[in-house]
Every structure is written in C-alpha cells, then in structure tokens.
Structure 1
Amino acid sequence: MNQPIARLRCLRSVELRTQASVESTDFYSEVWGLRVVEQGTDGAWLRGTGEHHHALQLTQAERNGLGRITFAVATPAEVDEAARRLELRGVPIVSGPGPVDDLGGGYGVSLVDPEGRVVELLADALAVPKLGREDAVPVGVTHVVLNTVDIDAAVTFYCDVLGMRVSDWSEHQMAFLRCNTDHHSIAFNQAEWTSVNHVAYEMPTVDHFMRGIGRLRQHGTVPLWGPGKHGPGDNTFSYFADPAGLVCEYTSGIAQVDEDRWLCKVWRRVPELSDLWGTAGPPSEQVRDHMAGIPDPGAFERFDLGRAS
C-alpha cells in the first residue's frame, strides 16, 4: 500500500487568478483587512496577522480561477521525498523539488491533482513577525472550498496521496478534509464543473468576526450570505464577493479534532444544520452563482498537460 507523499502541517496560502487584480488588491487591503507585502503590475501578495509571509496571492489573468494552494511541510528533505513518491505514483510535477523562485522563498514541489489544481508543498519559507490582534482583521487563510465534478475521486486523491483525513460529510454533496487539528482546511463540493468555491479567512474571535462584518458594511459591502454558524465544523460564517466576483469568507471558532476520539459523521443538508443560529437563512441564488464560479481547466491549460483520464 502506498504511503501519503508527505505530512501536511497547515494551509499556508492560496493564489487566486483574477480579472481584477488591482481592484481586488485594494479591496483585500483597504476593506478586508489584509496587508500588502508586495505589489506589481501582474498582482500582489497580502498577509494576515499570522507569521506566514503571505496568505493570499492575487495574479492578473484573463478569467477567474485558482492559481495554487500551498501547504507547509517541515523540511526540504520531506519535499524531496514527496517528489520521489509523486514520481512513483505518476502524479504530474510542474515545478521542483528545489528552491522556490517566488516572493517568500522556501524549498518546494508543486503537483497537479486529477482536476488540474496546482498544489504546492513548501518548507523553509520566510516567516514574518506576528501582528497584534486588536484590529478586526484576519490571521490568515484557514480553508478553501473547491467545486469538483467527482467528489469521491477528489477525496480519494487528497487522502491517499496527500494524507488528509475526512472529518465529516454533508450528505454526499460536501466532504470536509483536515491536515491538522482544524476540522477542515480543504472541502469539496460536488458540482457541474471544477472551480474554486470560496476562500475562508480566520478571525481570532467571534467579536473580531462581527466587527469585521461591521467594517465591510461601513464600506458599503454587505454579505452574500451570513452571518451564521455552520453545523459541520461548528464555525461562524459570513460570505462576501470581491471585485472580481470571487467569494471570500470571514470565519471563527473552527472545531478542533482529537484524532483518537473524533467520529466522522454524515450531516443532513437541512437549513437548521447549515446555519445553527438561524440568522442567515438558506443561501440565495446569487451566492450559489458566485460560489459556482466558471469552469477552470487549471494546470491542464497553463502547463500544457494532458487531462487525466
């Protein structure tokens, strides 16, 4: 039996390809609460209050999509071993293993999953001093929800190859996967096409979460859905659209998993479990349309790879 290629420590950052990188950079820095680390003609890197060099990378593109998802691993030796195991499994590698030629540095390898998403495993990336938590701003990115055309195949790949574990299911519509004690850092949503559904940012407390929503309202930005509290994950939620139409979420209080005691369960898809508080109501057609995104060929197009059969 093949072992997972590495032990993922945490979700470090997400790269989004966006039709509106300048406007989105302004939104995420001036309204959302992230801070610009560096900005160029083709995009920007933004950080939260945590120690990761950046949480979000925005890259100008012809259409919206997912650039890559970056997970932290412990050492360069683990990156090299991951690359060796990827080759044995026949999983496409698009860069590395080796030093990363990107802002933030580090030593990494980037693979392509069966639906064309680029996943980077990164060690020895630059760390930055943590910032104070007085302001209602995100610590960093905490999870990404991905639309998939085959939820069973997606879950199998991320568990068998990347070593993630399923925390819960929402019937056979959503699967929540973890790599550490957080209930989920990746979730898959069964959909008509492959795309990014939304990116979630951790607020330290419910108070920070609500004050962040208040700041957005003061800037004339109201939630697409929320505030509320999910059943799976037990986390608060409030979803917004950025200037390109991509969905971003404030969240707090994610459930913590005790590996020895946690029992994965299947949640019913009913309004009272999607929102335990009963404050948000069911998601509207508008939020569903934003979360559906547009079909994203990902690495199959950008790196001229043949599609997986």
Structure 2
Amino acid sequence: MNEPIARLRALRSVELRTVACPESVDFYTEIWGLRTVEQDHDVAWLRGSGAQHHVLQLTAAERNGLGRISFAVSTPADVDAAARRLEQLGIPVLEGPGPVADAGGGYGLRFADIEGRVIELLTGTYAVAELGRHDAVPVGVTHVVLNTVDIDAAVAFYTSVLGMRVSDWSEHQMAFLRCNSDHHSIAFNQAGWTSVNHVAYEMPSVDHFMRGIGRLRHSGITPLWGPGRHGPGDNTFSYFADPAGLVCEYTSGIAQVDEDRWLCRVWRRIPELSDTWGTAGPPSPQTRTHMAGIADPGAFERFPELRERIPGAVEASEIGAGVRVAAGKY
C-alpha cells in the first residue's frame, strides 16, 4: 500500500454548485444561521461561528452539484509533498501547489478523485474571530455524504490516497470515514450515480440543535427527515432542503474516536438503528429523492481527459448507470 499523500487535519469547507444561488444565499444566512464573509455576483462565501474564514461556498451553476471539498493540512510542505505523491500515483493535479487566489487565501492544491469530485488540500487560510455560541447557529461543516457508483472503489481511494480511516459500515450500503477524532467527515452511500447526498453542519449542543430546528419551523420550513439520532456516529440529525433542493443537515454530538480503542462495526440497516430515538421514522420517498440528487460528472465534464489519466476512474457511460468499477487500484 502506498503512503497517503497527506495527513488530513479536518474537513474545512464545501463548495456547492446551485441553480438558485441568490435564494440559497438568503436561506443560509437569514434562516440557516451562516453569515456572508464575501460575495460576488455569482458566488458567495459563508462562515459559521467558528474561526474558519468560510465553511460553505455557493456558486451559481446551470445544474446542482458538488464544486469541491476542502481539507485542512498543516504546512505548505505537506501540500508540496502531496503534489509529489499524486504524481507518483499518476493522479493529475488540477491546480497548484501554490498560493490560492480565492477568498480565504492559503496555500494549496486541487485534484479529482475517481468519480470526478474535486478535492482541495489547504493550509494557512485566513481566520476570522469566533462568534459566541449562545445562538442556535452552526459552528461549521462537520461531514459530507457522497453518493457513489462503487462504494468499495471510493473507500479504497479515500483510505489509501487520502489516509482516511473507516469508522463503521452500514451493511454494504454506507461507509463512514474519519480524518480526525470525529466519527466521520466523509461518508459514502452506494447509489445509481455520483452526486452529493447532503452536507451536515455542526450545532454546539442538542439544545442548539433543537432551537435551530425551531427557528426553521417558525420560518415555515419543516424537516425532510428528523429530528432523530443515528446509530452509526451517534449524532443527532434533522435534514432540510435548501431553495435549490440540495439537502442540508443540522447535527450534534458526533461520536469521538479513540484510535487505540475503536473497533469498526457493521451496523444493520433497521429502523431502530437508523434512528435510535425512534422519533423520525423512516425517510420518505421525497427525502430519498432529494438525497439522490442528479448525476454529477464533476471535473470530468470540464476535463474529459481525466477519465483516461486517473487510475480506476469511472467511465462516462458509468455515471448514472450504477456500473461498478474495479477497486484496489491504490
């Protein structure tokens, strides 16, 4: 097995491409609890209550999708080393390594995974003053769930290339991966096409979590699913749809992993484990439709040649068809 390209410290931020950018900016700032840091005519950067410059970037697009996922690493030397290891693995670097011109600054690089998702490694980004945690607003992004046409290949890439660890499985339908002590910062869901399933935002406590749900209800917005508490991860959940139909989640109390003691488990996919509180019931067909999203070729649309250059990449005909690809390339 190859050495991972870098040691990931945390999930930093997520970029979403959205067909309803102005409406989504209003939703995430006026109702969800984030705040605008910077904004242009077709892009906005939004912060939580933590010190991160931004945790969500919304970019106007012709169809919904994932723009990129950003992870924090420690030093510029880590970014440079990651670039060298990507070259050794035959994985093209899309941008960098070098100073980042986007809002938030820093030093980083970008590359695509085997299904065309853009991954960014960043260090030295701008910080902002932390806000008080009295209000029921998110601290930041805590995890992203991704739909994949081959869960084994996706897990192999993110563990071998990015050095993530599998915390738990939900049968062979979902895999939960961590990069620090949080139970998961990325999870994969076996699906018929590649897309973003949902983005989760950390609330400081169960009380903040419930008060946030109450604020949305007062605005006439009810959960797609929740509130409840998951078995894998032990975190609370309440899922909503933003104006573009993308799914966002309030969560709190994610399980913390002791690396020396944690044992990976395979959870049964039964109602009492998907919601240990028993308050939410099963997800509705509407919820599942929102979480399925639409087929998203990601970077493969802008750079078709990547499919030939990334070992184990999903072929164009496989996106949306649910065809499995070979795992174990790394």
TM-score, L = length of structure 1: 0.99
Matched, 1:116 2:128: no
Q: Give the drift of 1:305.
A: 3.3
**What does residue 289 of structure 1 align with?**
289
Q: Give the drift of 1:111.
A: 1.0
**What does residue 205 of structure 2 align with?**
205
Q: Deviations over 1:244-263 (max 9, x none)?
A: 00000000000000000000
Matched, 1:149 2:149: yes
Output aligned runs, 1:181-200, within 5 Å. Answer: 181-200=181-200
Listed as ranges, the gaps of 5+ residues in structure 1 are: none
Matched, 1:167 2:167: yes
Tell me, in whole angstroms, the C-alpha distance in 2 between the residues paired with 1:132 and 1:306.
Answer: 44
Secondary structure of 1:6's match? coil
**What does residue 132 of structure 1 align with?**
132
Q: Give the drift of 1:40.
A: 1.3
Q: Give the drift of 1:92.
A: 2.1
Give 2:125's aligned amino acid. A
Listed as ranges, the gaps of 5+ residues in structure 2 are: 308-312, 316-330
Tell me, in whole angstroms, the C-alpha distance in 2 between the residues paired with 1:91 and 1:112.
Answer: 8
Q: Deviations over 1:37-74 (max 9, x none)?
A: 01111110000001110000000000000000000000
**What does residue 52 of structure 1 align with?**
52
Q: Give the drift of 1:101.
A: 1.2
Tell me, in whole angstroms, the C-alpha distance in 2 between the residues paired with 1:303 and 1:74.
Answer: 29
CA RMSD for the aligned pairs?
Answer: 0.7
**What does residue 248 of structure 2 align with?**
248
**What does residue 258 of structure 1 align with?**
258
**What does residue 275 of structure 1 align with?**
275
Deviates more, 1:295-304 or 1:96-105: 295-304
Contact 1:299 1:305 in 2 (8 A): no
Secondary structure of 1:155's match? helix
Tell me, in whole angstroms, the C-alpha distance in 2 between the residues paired with 1:211 and 1:306.
Answer: 45
**What does residue 328 of structure 2 align with?**
none
Q: Give the drift of 1:303.
A: 3.2
Secondary structure of 1:111's match? strand
Secondary structure of 1:15's match? strand
Give 2:199's aligned amino acid. V
Deviates more, 1:157-166 or 1:294-303: 294-303
Contact 1:94 1:303 in 2 (8 A): no
TM-score, L = length of structure 2: 0.93
Q: Deviations over 1:8-52 (max 9, x none)?
A: 000000000000110000000000000000111111000000111
**What does residue 237 of structure 1 align with?**
237
Q: Give the drift of 1:265.
A: 0.3
Tell me, in whole angstroms, the C-alpha distance in 2 between the residues paired with 1:263 and 1:93.
Answer: 34
**What does residue 97 of structure 1 align with?**
97
Tell me, in whole angstroms, the C-alpha distance in 2 between the residues paired with 1:81 and 1:169.
Answer: 31
**What does residue 220 of structure 2 align with?**
220
Q: How many residues align?
A: 309
**What does residue 37 of structure 1 align with?**
37
Deviates more, 1:206-215 or 1:125-134: 125-134
Q: Deviations over 1:267-289 (max 9, x none)?
A: 00000000000000000000000
Tell me, in whole angstroms, the C-alpha distance in 2 between the residues paired with 1:59 and 1:150.
Answer: 27
Give 2:263's aligned amino acid. L
Q: Give the drift of 1:302.
A: 2.3
Matched, 1:24 2:24: yes
Secondary structure of 2:240's match? strand
Secondary structure of 1:87's match? helix
Q: Give the drift of 1:2.
A: 1.2
Tell me, in whole angstroms, the C-alpha distance in 2 between the residues paired with 1:20 and 1:187.
Answer: 26
